[in-house]
């Protein structure tokens, strides 16, 4: 996999959602370089992703990374940003891979949420259940917090 990073301005959370969807759906084949990950059950994949170190983007900047680069950076421990949007890209890639290779029919939505009336978090909903491996204390198929703000973006 060629190691390149493309930068472009993301002006709104809608722009970020579009980039999350684009990277997850376009580069799902990056996961094929990691056969152990491809063979994980959804629960094991959830536990694996949440076990990887959370590294926030710099204040005022948004980085969204394709799945292969994210895994390469996270597994090498090089300290590259790895927050909720990158985990959402991985989730979309994983379930897209399952849909394509195992002929499953997983329905995926990107959820933008916030505790109050402002958005500050993104994760996926898979088949009507939260799939949010952002932090080590997140629970499989449970919301991280009561949502005062929520907007759903079904994958096209």
pTM: 0.90
Q: Please, how many CA atoms are within 13 Å of residue 153, restricted to the half-sphere of its CB? A: 19
pLDDT tens-digit series, residues 14-30: 888 999 999 999 999 99
To 5 degrees, how large is the angle CA 93–CA 12–CA 96?
Answer: 10
pLDDT tens-digit series, residues 72-113: 888 887 777 889 999 999 999 999 999 999 999 999 999 999
Q: Are 106 and 128 in contact (CB under 8 A)?
A: no
Q: Are 107 and 131 in contact (CB under 8 A)?
A: no
């Amino acid at each position: 996999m060629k190691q390149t990073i493309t930068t472009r301005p993301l002006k709104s959370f809608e722009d970020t959602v579009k980039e999350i969807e684009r990277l997850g759906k376009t580069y799902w084949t990056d996961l094929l370089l990691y056969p152990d990950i491809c063979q994980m059950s959804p629960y094991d994949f959830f536990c694996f992703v949440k076990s990887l170190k959370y590294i926030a983007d710099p204040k005022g900047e948004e980085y969204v990374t394709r799945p292969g680069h994210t895994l390469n950076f996270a597994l090498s421990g090089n300290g590259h940003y790895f927050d909720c949007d990158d985990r959402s890209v991985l989730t979309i890639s994983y379930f897209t891979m399952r849909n394509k290779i195992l002929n499953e029919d997983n329905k995926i939505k990107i959820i933008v949420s916030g505790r109050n009336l402002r958005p500050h978090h993104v994760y996926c909903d898979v088949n009507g259940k939260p799939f949010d491996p952002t932090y080590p204390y997140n629970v499989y198929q449970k919301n991280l917090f009561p949502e005062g703000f929520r907007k759903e973006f079904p994958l096209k």
